[in-house]
Chain A
Amino acid sequence: MTTPLLSVEGFSLLAGDAVLLDRLTFAVGAGEVLAVTGAAGSGKSLLLKALAGLAPPDLTCDGTVRTVGRRILVTADGTLFPHRTLGAQFVELLHHHLGLDEHMALRRAVEALEWFRMPAAARRLSLYPHELSEAQRWRAVLALAVAAQPAVLLADAPAAALDPTQRAWMLDRLAGWARENGAALLIAGRAEEGVAGPADRRLLLEADRLRPAPPPPGLAADGDVNREPPPAGAPALSVRDLRVAFRLGRTWTGEDRWLTVVDGVGFDLAEGDTLALVGESGSGKSVLARALLRLVPPSGGQVAWLGRDLAGAPPDALRRARRDLQMLFPDPAAALDPGMTVGAQMAELLETLRPDIPAADRGPRIADALREVGLHEAVAALHPAALDAAEAAHAGLARALLPEPRLLVCDEPAATLAGADRAAFLARLMEVRRRRRLALVYATQDASDALRVGRRALVLLLGRIVEAADSAALVEGARHPLTRAMLAVAQGAKGGGSGGEFGSGLPGDPPSALAPPSGCALRLRCPLARDHCAQEPPALEGAATSHRIACHYWETNSQGAS
């Protein structure tokens, strides 16, 4: 490596007397990818802005930052000008930086968009930013940065809001571009955003200082995967051919149009067993979780708890079932009524679900539940607005535990938490689950979370199960391309090395339920797709009795991969 394109020596950032960044020293050479991770508020965005020369004017910079060539910063929100077409923005930027005329600029723009696999790139240039989907917008933002051929590209949490499989693919393309063109790429973001995936080196920004990021534990480490033996006994929850569809209205021919969100899902769950529902956004895992509790009316199939079907249950029977089945919501703060104190809402739940408990005993029970999840009992007197995200999550757990349930349905229960809070909450959830022998249904888009929590996992795509297996079996040999991609991304995000051909996620966007592709729903993104995949949707068939896959070529594909 010759002279580095970006070299930072003793760089400090001060706001008055407060030290925001303390004597950072690092360098990024040509074709090198550096990831800077850190918790929320650790100063990653500030560092990137300062490196781009855009530090807020009231801060004092100290030390030296040397760059060779052009710097470009991609901000965390990835905004484009709202009132100008993509093409106009490319032309303006490329004219400014490279002095290209319009024709050349548009040609460069199409090349850059195609590098990020924007479908029909040339036609997208006449669109406005709001006409693009979130994933396409990020492709455009990254393409815009890449097209200007910067020597130093600073990317702040790029595509953080996208699905892990999409994000990993985009970051991989971005890193590939930097390596091919000899640019220095600096990606900042939280560790769980997978920015470390394609990086050559990783640094951790912590307590204002930079230090090498510790080597993350691999996914396949034994303690990380749920390898409990299957519990004995008859299934307590049994789901058969469950369907959820929403009517969208009529077509002009008078037919009803339906949006099918969950399509023929079935599974059994014994008491004390854990099941993970894994899928990207739009896979129907969240609706499925709600349909189990009849919070969303199912349009077909049956959900039976202890042999009793809940789909047609009268209100009384349903209330008795709700005592056993409780839910954790993805945004725990929003799941609490802002107008009532936490305690009043918990008392309301006791009043409806446990009429056998006298009113005088409700207070002590609520205090017990709050203490069990590690909250102070005084929280009962608070209104939800006074709780932070982690406290709200714990309060939600306490409320769910109140009626002494036997099954907890969790829909991304830690989605609003990050870093240590998230780990602490999940640890608390697992501890409570072990102590109370709760059965758990855990919907998540993070494959490594799923394998850690669930003894069994169902991988969902567009409302259908594409792979169902024990977590241990999935770690050793996932067969469906989607599962393999999600696992590889979860592993790569931690920097545990690339996961083979799927290590960089999947190109393209998750399929839309409004216009599903013919045949296999994954075929447009699947690197192993063949002609037959477009013709008919694959059926769920077994590699073993407990391991079933919906892929036409699971046998041949997995042989080729291993």
Chain B
Amino acid sequence: MDRTRGTAATPKSLWPESPWRAAGRRLVERPSASVGLVVLITLLFCVPTAPLLGNGPLERALAAGQGSLSFALLGGLLGAAAGLAWGIAATALGPRAERSLMGLAERLAGLPLALALPLAAGLAGRGPGVLAPAAALTAAPFIALVTRAELRALLRREFLAAAQAAGVPPGRILRRHLIPNAALPLAAAAWTALPRALAAESFAGLLGLGLPGSVPSWGAALAAAVRAGDPAALAAPALLLALSLWALHAVGDGLRAAAASGETPRTAGGGRP
């Protein structure tokens, strides 16, 4: 047999895209993910510039997003970092640490963690130094669980054994094989911290226990509109909050789809149609 691929194959299969490019294509090919990306970018552009746009209800609601979105970013990054560190520590520190760390994460994930934010605000004040760790806590256990599962699956993959058989030292296996292959699934897991932090802060703001009054936020704007009984003022922040939550989730789904390897499933029992 002589597999002369170079001459026989079509150009598309001869120079296929790199895995990163393929992942980007899978992300963009999902309609919801690409629309979500556009929505997010538009919001990130409009929210800081809203005061320049005018003073209607929509512009005011957009301006209120400044606090919400920056807090979501702060709390989300903190939660993502904590969750990733948690999951990585559980995988790296051996079975006993794994059992206790993951047991804790599972127990926490079963609690209504959205209440952590108003609880912390009520007990320790409403400064961002209190609220951001509380928002991180609402997301971290879930990310830790997903991180551990992804890493365990990755560590069982055969190409790591092949790299070991090729004499590659452990440090380089980590750098060249483990981290590049873990990056996308872990990014998809970490992304979920953003919508969680945003939702938790808005919920706390609605209760009047969110960010301090000097910082504008959608939750607080909603609460004010409810108190004033003004449906028109309610609509704009509610809509923007729903839209940004949907966009964050849509992009998260797209990242997960991008992280899922693009292998075509093998046919097991012959050519079934």
A residues neighboring B (CB under 8 Å)? 15, 38, 40-46, 56, 59, 76-77, 156-157, 160-161, 190, 290, 293, 295, 315, 318-319, 322-323, 326-327, 329-331, 334-340, 345, 348-349, 352-353, 374-379, 381-383, 385-386, 389-391, 394, 396, 399, 416, 424, 427-428
Contacts and interface: CB of A to CB of B under 8 A. Distances in A.
B270 A157 contact: yes
A348 B19 CA distance: 19
A40 B267 contact: yes
Contact of A386 (B1, B13, B163): B13
Interface in B157-173: 157-159, 161-169, 172
A188 to B, nearest CB: 8
A391 B166 contact: no
B1 to A, nearest CB: 4
Contacts of A56: 273
A326 B157 contact: no
A390 B157 contact: no
B271 interface: yes
A396 B20 CA distance: 23
B226 interface: no
B14 interface: yes
A339 B177 CA distance: 8
Contacts of B159: 334-338
Given A352-B168, A378-B14, A45 B3 contact: no
B16 A385 contact: yes
A25 to B, nearest CB: 22
Contact of B263 (A326, A385, A428): A385
Contact of B269 (A45, A348, A349): A45
Contacts of A157: 269-270
A287 to B, nearest CB: 12
Given A40-B267, A335-B158, A381 B165 contact: no
A481 B271 CA distance: 37
Most chain A beta carbons < 10 A, residue from B1, B19, B162: B162
Interface of B: 1-7, 13-16, 18-20, 22, 157-159, 161-169, 172, 176-177, 180-181, 261-263, 266-273
A330 B162 CA distance: 11
A52 to B, nearest CB: 14
Contacts of B4: 376
Contact of A348 (B22, B168, B181): B168
Contacts of A389: 266
Contacts of A379: 5-6
B93 to A, nearest CB: 17
B165 A352 contact: no
A43 B180 CA distance: 41
A42 B162 contact: no
B161 A295 contact: yes
A130 B55 CA distance: 62
B16 A41 contact: no
B98 to A, nearest CB: 13
A385 B17 CA distance: 10
B270 A41 contact: yes
Nearest to A294: B164
Contacts of A45: 269-272
A428 B165 CA distance: 22
Contact of A334 (B20, B158, B268): B158
Given A43-B271, A376-B3, A338 B162 contact: no
Nearest to B181: A339
A317 to B, nearest CB: 11
B166 A322 contact: yes
A96 to B, nearest CB: 26
B270 A339 contact: no
A367 to B, nearest CB: 11
Most chain A beta carbons < 10 A, residue from B3, B4, B168, B266: B3
B161 A335 contact: yes
Nearest 5 A-B pairs (CB), nearest first? A41-B271, A76-B269, A376-B6, A349-B166, A424-B1
A40 B157 CA distance: 27
B59 to A, nearest CB: 45
Given A336-B162, A383-B16, A77 B269 contact: yes
Contact of B157 (A190, A334, A385, A391): A334
A56 to B, nearest CB: 6
Most chain A beta carbons < 10 A, residue from B22, B263, B268, B269: B269
A295 B164 contact: yes
Contacts of A190: 270
Contacts of B22: 385
Contact of A338 (B161, B168, B261, B271): B261
16 contacts: A40-B271, A41-B267, A156-B269, A160-B269, A295-B164, A322-B167, A326-B165, A334-B158, A337-B163, A338-B261, A339-B19, A345-B166, A348-B168, A349-B168, A386-B13, A386-B16
